[in-house]
Amino acid sequence: MTKTLDQLLTQQSFSREDLIRLLSVKGNDTQKVLDRALQVKAEAVGRKVYLRGLIELSNICAKDCCYCGIRKSNKNVHRYTLSDEEVYAAADFAWQKGFGSLVIQSGELIAPAFTNHIERLLIGIHQRTNAELSITLSCGEQPLEVFKRWHQAGAHRYLLRIESTDRELYYQIHPHNSLHAYEKRIEGLKNLRKAGYQVGTGVMIGLPGQTIENLADDLLFFKSMDLDMIGMGPYIEHAETPLYDRRNLLWPTEERFRMSLLMIAGLRLLMPDINIASSTALETLDPLGRQSGLLAGGNVVMPNLTPVSNRLDYMLYDNKPNLDKDPALSTSSLNEVIEAIGEKICYYEQGNSQHFLKRQG
């Protein structure tokens, strides 16, 4: 006898078939899955939200990912790098507001000058904030030695998205060459673990040609790699990228949104004690996307602290929100919005991955 959805949702472990079934629900059953994920989150990590102030350090990138607006070949992008003063101002803001944590994200460069630049910023931020902030880096694939140096300089977490764990799909959205090698991405994730980080990855949801089976396999990959944190969200087309040509294959945006929430929920059921971001891309598709992600099992939000004058130049996809100030910051309503859905922001807490802390013992 096939089990009911209710039976499925209360399981402790999930097979590939179970995950495919969870991700295939329609209509009212979607809400059932999301509600169960919220319950599991509440039991495992509490209805708590951790903040990471996002600093988009530079849009200079050596890579040519076929979906990304700041890919190297896009000549219509004005390239920038924030000054140290701008980065420190953002860090000070986060520290004073009790954010507990920062993410430094950047286009990808492998170069001694870039290594030194990040290292200097890490040291500088810790000096001026009494080493009270935890720092996540999202600066692409780097040699193990570089990962180690940055960890030594005070980066605690690293986000390196695999984008899709299906090798074939990976090469449909990346150039097939040594700079964009699938195996190197996986090796990068393993090296991050070796270097001592809380390790995060993620995928885009609703890519042209992506199937529910692919997404179920993504979740199983996260579990098999025993990851500490995940940031994933809907794929959103960008007109100045090659993948735009395949937009006729896309699911409607509502469906990409719904699948993104189901992925967060499925992941929360599969890995109850990890950190899961409610991504900015969710907000692009729905003004209440951030809250929806939290109610589907997410527990991290990343308010954008990049200087407003640079934001137009960090357009990973079309219609990226909060090009002026993140409304959540300006209205001081972030708290209200989050409390209104029954969640609590943990100010002055780093919000480290419980999963990581348990593994450390």
> Contact with ligand 5AD (CB under 6 A): which of 14, 50, 67, 257?
67
Are 263 and 239 spatial neighbours (Cβ–Cβ below 8 Å)? Answer: no
Are 284 and 271 spatial neighbours (Cβ–Cβ below 8 Å)? Answer: no
Judged on CB neighbours under 10 Å (0-12, 13-18, 19+), 35 is middle
Pairing of strands 300-301, 344-345: unpaired
Give the residue closest to ligand 5AD by C-beta. 317
Q: Does 317 bind ligand 5AD (CB under 6 A)?
A: yes
> Contact with ligand 5AD (CB under 6 A): which of 33, 135, 139, 204?
204
Span 148-187, contacts to ligand 5AD by CB under 6 A: 161, 163
Segment contacting ligand 5AD (CB under 6 A): 34-42, 84-92, 231-239, 334-342? 231-239
Give the nearer residue to ligand 5AD in terms of CB position, either 198 or 345.
198
Are 59 and 309 spatial neighbours (Cβ–Cβ below 8 Å)? Answer: no
Q: Strand, helix or coil at 200?
A: strand
C-alpha 288, offset from chain centre? 17
Each residue of 60-88: b (16+ CB within 10 Å) or e?
bbebbbbbbbbbbebeebeebbbeeebbb
Segment contacting ligand 5AD (CB under 6 A): 31-39, 52-60, 81-89, 235-243? 235-243
Least distance in angstroms from the C-beta of 83 to ligand 5AD? 22
Segment contacting ligand 5AD (CB under 6 A): 11-19, 112-120, 234-242, 321-329? 234-242
> Contact with ligand 5AD (CB under 6 A): which of 230, 316, 337, 338?
316
Binding site for ligand 5AD (CB under 6 A): 67-68, 161, 163, 204, 235-236, 238, 281, 316-317
